[in-house]
Structure 1
Amino acid sequence: MTKQLIGKMVIGQSGGPTAVINQSLVGAVLAARKQANITGILGAHHGIAGIMKEDFIDLTTQSPEQLELVATTPAAALGSVRLKPGKAECEKVFEVFKKNDVRFFFYIGGNDSAETAHIIAEMAKEANYDFCTVHIPKTIDNDLKVTDHCPGFASAARFVALAFMGDDRDNRALSGIKVNVVMGRSAGFLTAASALARQAEDDGPHLIYLPERVFNVESFQQDVRDTMAKYGRCVIAASEGISDKDGNPIATSGERDSHGNIQLSGSGALGDALAALVKAAFPGEKVRVRADTFGYLQRSFPSIISEVDAREA
């Protein structure tokens, strides 16, 4: 018979916030309250960083009404973190877990957060520490391995579609060429969601560029020229992760995060680069070109949260 774990639970949030990540938090907390073998529920303030500092929030006493308010609030209520823990950090985490008799660790996040949870689970195994680690999926760009779709994506996709719908009306009024850069390092699901804005044949976005396809400058410029010739205007959706045939990003901020990822949404570099390519496609012509980077706006925008997304989270 498998030995039943008895002890406290720690839950944390990591990576970029979403519109529904707190639904996952509250769902896990409410389920944990029903388990007699879970003797306490601690929320890690700013994920792994908070655990190392023993910066916890007691989640055992909040009323259902309070938790419901938290669940329906966008972004990470516990505070998030971008930290790739090394050996020293993991050792500190386990010192804290042992000190507080923590036997359950729930970590809400994306691929990098899943890796962190895996490292901690392996460390517990090596230390012969009876422990249960659970990774709760979260991401807006829908790129988690194994899952067919992920909590956080649907709400962000709805934001993208509605933003393009409104931007297309703006473009109709003033014509010209508009470039919008959408999140998605290596997965184009969120950028592809911009197509949901189309209701008529001439609705934008007229051109969509995904990271799964090689981006060719000459083809891009010809696409824009053809669209302008057909409609007299052009709305473009481009994923932040579009790359050339050698896998090099078209534009980056030049910085990396703690997980080693090249930062793609920290600036308007890609939008500016694409706008420059568009202008170069019309030499000697005065063409109105504008570019926006949606950036963090996509992650936790209130009021347009997907009901299905919230329920699944």
Structure 2
Amino acid sequence: TRDKPDEEYCAKIFQVLRAHGVRYFYYAGGNDSADTCRIVNENANKAGYELRVIHIPKTIDNDLRVTDHCPGYGSAAKFVVSAFAGANLDNAALPGVYLGIVMGRHAGFLTAASVFARKYPEDGPHLIYVPERAFDPEKFLAAVDRVYAKYGRCVIAVSEGIVDANGQPVVVGLRGDAERDAHGNVQLSGSGALGDGLSDLIKNKLKIKRVRSDTFGYLQRSFLSVVSTADANEAREVGEKAVQYSVWNNVDGSVAIRRTGDYSVDYFLTELESVAKHTKHMPEDFLEGDSDVSVAFKNYARPLIGNFPHYERIAAPVVEKVLHR
């Protein structure tokens, strides 16, 4: 569901569960889903109804607190890498400026994964913009101009949720009539407004004619042929652990993942209150300057994504001209 939890909404959920004699409630999702679990659990406790409530982490934004990472992120990130690897090759063949708008209202983990599309020094994305850094249009234009002057082209990865220095979504500044959802939030994934606005900004200010943008939208979270093996395995594991904690241990909570060693994981249960309504942002050491990510982020994300698209370049040295010399 995309509905935000409130007391009345969650009371109805509990009433249905009790009417059907349900004793185990598992809810997969992000921090709003965890909050739903918290409120439903409180309803059950107040009513003296025995109900085990377990939140199962699942969000491509990777923005849940406590857990090292979230199932769903690795596969969505793999799609983002694949998309930018292909877009970069297309941009190299037909130079211009390309912007890819990636999901992530409050956290830039998914957009940051685009860094793995770089194979050669001149590969894009050349610039990466995430919500954790305030977006400055003038600095943005200067960076695009610099990259374009160097390579004759520019590939840019942008989080849908980038904000200005005042915390206002950039799309509002570019398109004052931005759509809003039922809760009054600016609609980020439902249109190409941010990509169109940034494209127009580049065209108008830098006078670059070929500027294109794509808003990845739902594809990045539902593309069946691009799946991270680690992600798929861990998604199954958190579901199994949820059942084990509730049935064997008779407890409530949110399943979380702990990273161990170079890369392995174990699982534990954390309190619903520690996850509900909270948002995790990219740590400072994952960011590099205003428009890039660090080695620390790469080390964090690489095992979650798995293998990357593989391609090579044909060595094609310029042949000395023979005709019409």
TM-score under structure 1 length normalisation: 0.71
Q: CA deviation at 1:286?
A: 4.8
Aligned to 2:215: 293
Aligned to 2:90, which of 161, 170, 185?
Answer: 170
Question: Secondary structure of the residue that 2:23 maps to in structure 1?
Answer: strand
Aligned to 1:148, which of 68, 74, 81?
Answer: 68
Q: CA deviation at 1:222?
A: 0.3
Once residues 291 and 202 of structure 1 are traced to their aligned partners in structure 2, the CA distance between those partners, rounded to angstroms, is 20
Q: CA deviation at 1:287?
A: 2.2
Higher RCO by CA contacts (8 Å cutoff, separation 6 or greater): 2
Per-residue CA deviations over 1:236-270 (Å, capped at 9, x if unaligned) read 00000111000000015431245x54321110010
Aligned to 1:110, which of 27, 30, 33?
Answer: 30
Number of equivalent positions: 230
Once residues 17 and 100 of structure 2 are traced to their aligned partners in structure 1, the CA distance between those partners, rounded to angstroms, is 45
Aligned to 1:254, which of 160, 179, 182?
Answer: 179
Is the CA contact 2:106–2:161 (under 8 Å) kept in the aligned structure 1?
yes
Q: CA deviation at 1:85?
A: 4.1
Aligned to 2:228: 306
Question: Secondary structure of the residue that 2:71 maps to in structure 1?
Answer: coil
Q: CA deviation at 1:152?
A: 0.2
Question: Secondary structure of the residue that 1:184 maps to in structure 2?
Answer: coil
Equivalent runs, 1:1-313 vs 2, <5 Å: 81-251=1-171, 253-258=178-183, 261-282=185-206, 285-313=207-235
Is the CA contact 1:257–1:263 (under 8 Å) kept in the aligned structure 2?
no
Question: Secondary structure of the residue that 2:157 maps to in structure 1?
Answer: strand
Once residues 23 and 161 of structure 2 are traced to their aligned partners in structure 1, the CA distance between those partners, rounded to angstroms, is 39
Q: CA deviation at 1:281?
A: 2.5
- Unaligned residue ranges in structure 2 (runs of 5+): 173-177, 236-325
Once residues 28 and 84 of structure 2 are traced to their aligned partners in structure 1, the CA distance between those partners, rounded to angstroms, is 29
Q: CA deviation at 1:232?
A: 0.3
What CA RMSD, in Å, does the superposition of the two structures yield over aligned residues? 1.4
**Percent of paired sites with the same residue:** 57
Instruction: In structure 2, give the amino acid aligned to 1:273.
Output: G
Is the CA contact 1:225–1:281 (under 8 Å) kept in the aligned structure 2?
no
Is the CA contact 1:140–1:156 (under 8 Å) kept in the aligned structure 2?
yes
Aligned to 1:20: none
Once residues 137 and 160 of structure 2 are traced to their aligned partners in structure 1, the CA distance between those partners, rounded to angstroms, is 15
User: Residues 189 and 85 from structure 1, CA distance in 2 versus in 1: closer, same or farther, beyond 3 angstroms?
Assistant: closer
Q: CA deviation at 1:98?
A: 1.9
Instruction: In structure 2, give the amino acid aligned to 1:254.
Output: E
Question: Secondary structure of the residue that 1:181 maps to in structure 2?
Answer: strand
TM-score under structure 2 length normalisation: 0.68
Is the CA contact 2:96–2:208 (under 8 Å) kept in the aligned structure 1?
no
